Amino acid sequence: MEKRVKTINDSLVRIYGDILWIEENELRQSRFKDLTIKDMHAISAITMYDQKTASQVAKELHLTPGTLTSTIDRLEKKDYVKRIRSNNDRRVVRLGLTKKGRLMYRAHDAFHRMMVDSFLKDVEPDEIKTIEKALRNLENFLREHS
């Protein structure tokens, strides 16, 4: 592998591996000790805003419907998430966050904001375009392969 490509690859691999682990540690030291990172990412995917359906969230998280059901059971029991039966279609479960869930959501979002801010530290506005281009490239690559 060309050296530059290899360096960037190694960096991406390290970052990828470390992020989950660091998020887990931050979580354990926070007031949300009763959650795993998977729980946190479920809360993050549900979001404060949309009232997505269970199927939508399952797809985003690449989980089977059964697994999502048990994830939601757990988060509902711990009072982070609530199920809202759709009135249009009584089969559909829409998902929302409780007050506690919204607190968690904001805390996680704040951590991500810090992470991205650090990522862009000393990066000039016109350089940001380069980064956005590269990320779009990668997303396109992943889309082609899925």
* Interacting residue ranges for a second copy, rule: CB under 8 A: 1, 4-5, 7-9, 11-19, 21-22, 25-26, 41, 44, 60-62, 109, 112-123, 127-128, 130-142, 145-146
Q: Which of 105, 42, 100 is nearest to 74 (CA)?
A: 42
Least Å distance between CB 100 and a second copy?
21
Least Å distance between CB 126 and DNA?
40
3-state SS, residue 116: helix
Least Å distance between CB 132 and DNA?
30
Least Å distance between CB 28 and a second copy?
13
Give the nearer residue to DNA in terms of CB position, either 57 or 105: 57
The values of phi and psi at residue 96, to 5°, are -135, 165
Q: Which of 59, 20, 55 is nearest to 40 (CA)?
A: 20
Which residues in this chain contact DNA in the complex, by CB under 7 A? 36, 38-39, 53-55, 62-74, 83, 88-94
| Spatial CB neighbours of 54, under 8 Å, sequence gap ≥ 6 | 65, 68, 69, 72, 92, 93, 94, 95
Give the nearer residue to DNA in terms of CB position, either 63 or 103: 63
Give the nearer residue to a second copy in terms of CB position, either 19 or 92: 19
| Spatial CB neighbours of 143, under 8 Å, sequence gap ≥ 6 | none
Give the nearer residue to DNA in terms of CB position, either 67 or 140: 67
Contact call for residues 31 and 21 (beta carbons, < 8 A): no
